[in-house]
Chains A and B, each alone.
Chain A
Amino acid sequence: MYTIISPRLGNPGDQFIPEDGVNIDALLDGGLISTDTAKKSSKVKSEPKEQ
């Protein structure tokens, strides 16, 4: 999953779906798209109680 950063590829913030033959590494290197990172849960696990 990639997100558009540069308006030269589409609307910034939209998901970027690469077509065949597109060089993803070059787009990432140039800062034109970014890699989506999985969002972490906001829940904080409680520490296990000590016995």
Chain B
Amino acid sequence: MAISSTYLSNPSITINSVDLSDQCTSAVINYVSEQLENTTFSNTSRSFTAGLFSNSVTVTLYQSYAASETEASIYSLVGTTTTLVLKPTSSAVGATNPSYTLTGAFLSAHTPINASLGELSTIDLTFAGGVLTKAVA
């Protein structure tokens, strides 16, 4: 059994400086370097080198049309770039609670209405591109 696993109990997320932690139920940071093949005749196994980074963040939020809530925070971000900050917990940033900042991430789509009868409405957003930085202090 792992002795140092993590479960999210009080994570923190800000989108465009707006703290939407109390509307968020899921967040995934994809930190991706494209792989470029550089295999040559001298190799016996395939070889790769780093290409462009292709980062993204996917989040699920409860939808709310009230003032200062989800819709007011997200709607005008479509077609633009913004900054997201995510932390495993809302505590101060440190070695055991790193902060991940995605700067210049593009939001291409939003579903202002995504609802079913009798269920809480949620929206799934993908912020693509941008530079990911990790801070531990």
Contact = CB atoms under 8 A, between A and B. Distances in A.
Residue of B17, B18, B67 with most partner-chain A CB within 10 A = B17
Contacts of B75: 26, 29-30
Given A29-B75, A30-B73, A31-B68, A22 B83 contact: yes
Given A6-B68, A8-B68, A31-B67, A20 B76 contact: no
A27 B68 contact: no
A25 interface: yes
Q: What interface size band does chain A fall in?
A: 10 to 19
B82 A26 contact: yes
Contacts of B17: 9, 18-19, 22, 27
A22 B82 contact: yes
A20 B68 contact: no
B25 to A, nearest CB: 17
B98 interface: no
Given A8-B73, A32-B72, A21 B19 contact: no
A41 interface: no
Contact of B16 (A5, A7, A20, A23): A23
Contacts of B125: none
A29 B76 CA distance: 7
